[in-house]
A and B are shown apart, each in its own frame.
Chain A
């Protein structure tokens, strides 16, 4: 909340994003502070600045031969194969975190594992057509997400606990469902080109080597979530309950139902991402989304970095996508700066520093300008 407004004379409250025809003398004086303010309060602006900086610095390094491979647009584009699941799952986290009341989905990685196994059964072992397998996987993810939603929204479990419990349960089922063995075979191996093909139909020659999966998985999900949140009535209700639970009840919104759907949607996206990952690895692995640190941690990290407030009600699709791109391309640069495995470790460092930095920045922005958007 800004306190620049004297209580008796209400307007003008807090300059808008584009100050409507401010007097010229004020405008020139405040360009510097306005820019600072934009960087601090508009997460998208900050991310764009960082993204450009990362790409430019890396290209300069590359041009001067400091990197182990050429950091060019084709390379940037082909690295997107890693960004696809990151973007999708970070958007899933965006939805549940925005729903408020400590919303979070720790189970998303386990949902990916289990949905991926179900897809493996359908597509490889039962010989279902691809689309049917995809639908089944998505439906599985939705049901698993719905269980989270019921626990959190209807039964009142803290989201962290509910999804911790289902994380354990889902990942366990994913492993035992096929006797601890991954599912692979000709059918699934044939899927790899469907996500990694660089010769995209019609436009393949005109653009950098963007993997097909960006168009077939990432873009539909990004656009879908954007339409839902920014243009759909559901988005209004979701931001409403995330901003103020009580006011949402008074405004006649179905708070529990809206929040429950957020978790189901998160599961749905997890189910779609599962198919992508199965295709990318050419195998339905039992630990598809839970290996190592799992996919939930990076997804949540990207979401927070993208400006999603952990307290709910704040967060935009653009911010999350930019954050995922930033991390992907930064990682690429880091990877090319080192020989061997060393790079992976510095990627962890970069992710950690970015997150802590973003969180502290949120604190500063809140104290100075009343919040980020």
Chain B
């Protein structure tokens, strides 16, 4: 706690690393740590279960990562603005069952299915966004409510307990051979492309940067000319649209039936990935790259536990611990930073 006598010392300090660069580092410390942890896990698992580092093991892993990371893009944006969306599980169900039913009834291409799914998802997201941005109600409450509504809607569309005889239209994004090119699952590829796009959007566009401002201080952001309501509506809408895409991934599981458990509990899995990825639940800070890595870590642990022959549910314990460790280290960093700033006063 030393008072810096010469304030000139403080501005010069960042000189070394920031000169010549227009923006802060593209990869955060937390992301490097996550990459390291994942790498270490892969090596360890590769040694202990030789089957782990084979295509037959890694491809399903990536297929599982895809929808969580994809929907995680939207959730990351939502959480950056200081909100949350508990309703994505229900929304997944609505999109998946809508597409399943139309596929069973009508013959259509995957593109039509995609349009339907995204439109439905975006509609649900817009309902959330509208209630949150214009109803001035905490996001957590509204999405708790709409989670129930969406489940109702989904179950209504189900009609019976399962949808049977779904054609193989969606196999291109599924887990089978049709779903891969050069060994890479299409769903994962699509996810990576969208993550890159979102990363660019959050980092380089006015709209993206404004999300951080909203999460930091919505009132100050509004005074600075940020269109807070419109942006808030938009992030929930984007989340809904991504749910529409992700629902296709869930639907293309390789079986011709869809049961009512689709989407159940996914909201928490997505939030877990986002949080492990270093996005602050308090808003104002986060990255989609972290979310992708968070989802990858969670799935690595899940696959690893199974392949080691441990009870599969044990993986949840590690997920819980991962959240504690990821958020805990972040808290420590924040605390060190605030006390450093304070001591400069």
Whether A and B are associated in the same complex: the answer reads yes
The segment from A36-44, A50-58, A174-182 that touches chain B is A174-182
Contacts of A345 in B (CB 8 A): 151-152, 155-156
A124 to chain B, nearest CB (A): 21
B340 interface contact, C-beta 8 A: no
CB distance from A331 to the nearest CB of B (A): 12
B315 within 8 A of A: yes
Q: Is the CB of A304 within 8 A of B144?
A: yes
Q: How far is the CA of A363 from the CA of B152 in the complex (A)?
A: 25
Task: Please give, as numbers and ranges, the residues of chain A lying within 8 Å of B77 by CB-CB distance.
Answer: none
Q: For the complex, what is the distance from the CA of A304 to the CA of B152, rounded to whole Å?
A: 20
The verdict on A164 contacting B272 (CB below 8 Å), with A348-B151, A351-B148, A363-B136 known, is: yes
Q: Which residues of B contact A362 (CB under 8 A)?
A: 137
Task: Tell me, yes or no, whether B117 is within 8 Å of chain A by CB.
Answer: no
Q: Restricting to B281-304, which residues have a CB under 8 Å from any CB of A?
A: 281-282
Stretch at the interface among B99-107, B118-126, B193-201, B322-330: B322-330
Contact of B317 among A173, A297, A355, A356 (CB under 8 A): A173
Interface digits, B262-279 against A, CB 8 Å rule (1 contact, 0 not)?
001100100110010000
Query: Do the beta carbons of A176 and B155 come within 8 Å of each other?
Result: no
B281: chain A residues at CB < 8 Å are 158, 160-161
A226-261 contacts to B, CB under 8 A, are none
Q: A165-B324, A356-B149 in contact; A172/B315 too (CB < 8 A)?
A: yes
Is A166 close to B, CB under 8 A?
yes
Cβ-defined contact, B313 with A172, below 8 A: yes
Asked whether A349 lies within 8 Å of B144 as measured between CB atoms, the reply is: no
Known: A164-B272, A292-B264, A362-B137. A157 touches B146 (CB 8 A): no
Q: Which A residues touch B328, using CB under 8 A?
A: 155, 157
Name the one of B152, B313, B320 contacting A349, with C-beta atoms under 8 angstroms: B152
In the complex formed, the residue of B with least CB distance to A351 is B148
Residues of A within 8 A of B331 (CB): 155-157
Instruction: Choose from A104, A179, A355 the contact partner of B148 (Cβ within 8 Å).
Output: A355
Instruction: Determine whether the beta carbon of B327 is less than 8 Å from that of A157.
Output: yes
B33: Cβ under 8 A from any A Cβ: no
In the complex, how many angstroms separate the beta carbon of A236 from the nearest chain B beta carbon?
Answer: 26
What residues of chain B lie closer than 8 Å to A304, measured between beta carbons? 141, 144
A310 contacts B313, C-beta separation under 8 Å? no
Q: Are B137 and A160 in contact (CB under 8 A)?
A: no
B217 on the interface (CB 8 Å rule)? Answer: no
Is B225 positioned at the interface, with any CB of A under 8 Å from its CB?
no
Q: How long is the Cα–Cα vector from A297 to B147 in the complex, in angstroms? A: 10
Given contacts A345-B152, A359-B137, A360-B131, A175 and B146 within 8 Å (CB-CB):
no
Given A160-B281, A164-B275, CB of A352 within 8 Å of CB of B323:
no
CA gap between A297 and B331 in the complex, in Å: 27
State whether the Cβ of B11 lies closer than 8 Å to any Cβ in chain A: no
Give the docked Cα–Cα distance between A89 and B155 (Å): 26
A168 within 8 A of B: yes
Contacting B at CB under 8 A, from A18-46, are none
Total residues of chain A contacting the partner, CB 8 A: 48
- Bound Cα distance from A360 to B127, whole angstroms: 14
CB pair B138–A179 under 8 Å, yes or no, is: no
* CB of B263 to closest CB in A, whole Å: 11
Query: How far does the alpha carbon of A168 sit from the alpha carbon of B320 in the complex, in Å?
Result: 5
Q: How far is the CA of A329 from the CA of B150 in the complex (A)?
A: 22
**A173 to B314 CA separation, bound complex (whole angstroms):** 7
Q: What A residues does B315 contact at CB under 8 A?
A: 172
Q: Does residue B95 face the partner (Cβ distance < 8 Å to A)? A: no
Beyond A349-B148, A352-B152, whether A360 also contacts B320 by CB under 8 A is no
> What is the bound-complex CA distance between A349 and B150, given in angstroms?
8
- Whether a CB of chain A sits under 8 angstroms from the CB of B115 is no
Q: Are B152 and A168 in contact (CB under 8 A)?
A: no
Q: Are A363 and B313 in contact (CB under 8 A)?
A: no
For the complex, is B183 an interface residue (Cβ under 8 Å from A)?
A: no
Report if A88 contacts B (CB, 8 A): no
Separation in Å of the A344 CB from the closest CB of chain B?
A: 8
* CB of A49 within 8 Å of the partner chain: no
A112 at the interface (CB under 8 A from B): no
Contact of B137 among A179, A351, A360 (CB under 8 A): A360
Answer yes or no: A171 CB below 8 A from chain B CBs.
Answer: yes
A window 293-338: CB within 8 A of B: 293-294, 297, 300-301, 304, 310-311
Query: Known interface pairs A155-B331, A164-B272, A356-B131. Does A348 touch B140 (Cβ–Cβ under 8 Å)?
Result: no
Which residues on A are within 8 Å of B, measured CB to CB? 104, 106, 151, 155-158, 160-162, 164-173, 175-176, 179-180, 292-294, 297, 300-301, 304, 310-311, 344-346, 348-349, 351-356, 359-360, 362-363
Q: Closest 3 interchain pairs by CB?
A: A352-B148, A169-B320, A168-B320
Residues of B participating in the A interface, judged by any CB pair closer than 8 Å: 84, 86, 131, 135-138, 140-142, 144-152, 155-156, 264-265, 268, 271-272, 275, 281-282, 311, 313-317, 319-321, 323-324, 327-328, 331, 335
**Pairs A–B under 8 Å by Cβ, sample size 21:** A155-B328, A156-B335, A158-B282, A160-B84, A162-B324, A168-B316, A168-B317, A172-B319, A172-B320, A175-B311, A297-B86, A297-B147, A301-B148, A310-B140, A311-B138, A346-B152, A349-B152, A352-B146, A353-B149, A359-B137, A363-B136
Given contacts A310-B138, A354-B145, A356-B149, 11 further A-B contacts (CB under 8 A): A104-B140, A157-B328, A161-B327, A169-B321, A176-B317, A179-B311, A293-B265, A346-B152, A356-B146, A359-B137, A363-B135
